[in-house]
Amino acid sequence: MHSQQCATGFLNGKPKSAKIGGWKDLESSLGKLLVYASKTVSYRKRLKVVKAAVEKTAKTLKMDFEVVAFKGNTPIYVYYKNGTADPVPLYCDGEGVKSLEQVCSTLRSMMFVLSFHPKYTALKRIRKTIMKFS
């Protein structure tokens, strides 16, 4: 739901022009999760699980997320993007369907590791929260 809203001018369910307690600054300071997925029908079931895991992660960490659709048969990728830096891959959904818990665990683990890198200070600030949710 968030992904379609982002594409049509909403962020976390609120109009982008709204001024609600500095949420734009908070979102931009924590970064964003990007889901890159194929438009093909065969990927829909896997995308549903990955998208739900990314949505849960983003909501828990008070981050935004976006789904970017591609043509062709490419795996589903999840990236972390903060500011102008290049996105960092967190997850690749190869063959087979993973559970929501497996995808969340992988995202959480990768973000925890990134939180120790000096380039990702936003993740360092929320390191405890990253490890709390499952």
| Domain ranges within the chain, ordered by starting residue | 2-132
Per-residue pLDDT of the chain (134 residues; tens, 9 = 90+): 333 333 323 344 433 333 333 344 444 578 999 999 988 767 788 889 999 999 999 999 999 999 998 888 888 999 999 988 899 999 998 777 789 999 999 999 999 999 999 999 999 999 999 988 65
Identify the pLDDT of residue 29. 78
| Reported CATH class of domain 2-132 | alpha beta
Please give the helix or strand (H or E) that residue 36 lies within, else none: strand 32-38
Identify the pLDDT of residue 105. 93
* Rounded-to-integer distance, Cα 134 and Cα 61, Å: 12
DSSP per residue, 60-129: HHT-EEEEEEESSS--EEEEEE-TTSPPEEEEEE-SSPPPHHHHHHHHHHHHHHHTTSTT-HHHHHTHHH
Identify the pLDDT of residue 74. 84
**In the block, residue with structure tokens 């709204």:** 18
**In the block, residue with structure tokens 């993007």:** 81
**8 Å CB contact between 85 and 76:** no
